[in-house]
Amino acid sequence: MRPSSFFYQIRQGFKNIGRNKLFSIASIATMTACIFIFGALFSVIMNVDSVRRDLEEKVGVTVFFIEGTSDERMQQIGDEIRAIDHVTEVTFTSADEAWENYKAEHFASNPELAEGFKDNPLANSASYTVLVDRIERQQGVVDQISRIPDVRQINQSSAAVRNLASFNQVFTYISVAIIVILLVVSVILIANAINLGIQTRSDEIAIMKLIGSTDAFVRAPFVVEGLILGLIGTVLPLLLLFLAYSGLVRALLMRFGFLGEMGDVLLSPASVFAVLVPIGLVLGLGIGLFGAWITVKRHLDV
Partner 1 sequence: MAEDFLHDYRKAWSFMIDLDHVSKQYEKGLAAVDELSLHVDKGEFVFVVGDSGSGKSTMIRLLLKELEPTSGIITVNGRVLNTMRHGQIPKYRRSIGTVFQDFRLLEEMTVYENVAFAMHAVEAPGRLIKKRVPQVLHEVGLSEKYRSLPRQLSGGEQQRVAIARAIVNSPQILLADEPTGNLDPRNAFEIMKLIEQINHSGTTVLVVTHNKELVNQFQKRVIMMRNGTIARDVEEGGYIEA
What angle in degrees, to the nearest 10, is found between the helix axes of 215-256 and 159-200? 140
Interaction of residue 46 with partner 1, rule CB under 8 A: no
What SS3 class is residue 91? strand
Burial of 228 (0-12, 13-18, 19+ CB in 10 A): buried
Among 217, 242, 290, 293, binds partner 1 (CB under 8 A): 217
Q: Which stretch binds partner 1 (CB under 8 A): 77-85, 115-123, 204-212, 264-272?
A: 204-212
Nearest partner of 24 among 37, 13, 10, judged by Cα: 13
Shortest spacing between CB 302 and partner 1, in angstroms = 7
Nearest partner of 131 among 178, 91, 184, 188, judged by Cα: 91
Q: How many CB atoms lie within 10 A of CB 277?
A: 16
What SS3 class is residue 118? coil
Name the strand (E) or helix (H) holding 269.
helix 269-299
Shortest spacing between CB 164 and partner 1, in angstroms = 56
Shortest spacing between CB 218 and partner 1, in angstroms = 8
Interaction of residue 1 with partner 1, rule CB under 8 A: yes
Shortest spacing between CB 135 and partner 1, in angstroms = 56
Among 72, 79, 203, 261, binds partner 1 (CB under 8 A): 203
Beta bridge partners of 62: 129, 155
What angle in degrees, to the nearest 10, is found between the helix axes of 269-299 and 215-256? 160
Q: Which stretch binds partner 1 (CB under 8 A): 110-118, 164-172, 178-186, 212-220?
A: 212-220
Q: How many CB atoms lie within 10 A of CB 51?
A: 17
Among 22, 108, 159, 211, binds partner 1 (CB under 8 A): 211
**19 vs 250 by CB, closer to partner 1:** 19
**19 vs 134 by CB, closer to partner 1:** 19
Among 29, 104, 207, 254, binds partner 1 (CB under 8 A): 207
Interaction of residue 208 with partner 1, rule CB under 8 A: yes
**Which residues in this chain contact partner 1 in the complex, by CB under 8 A?**
1-5, 8, 19, 203-204, 206-215, 217, 302
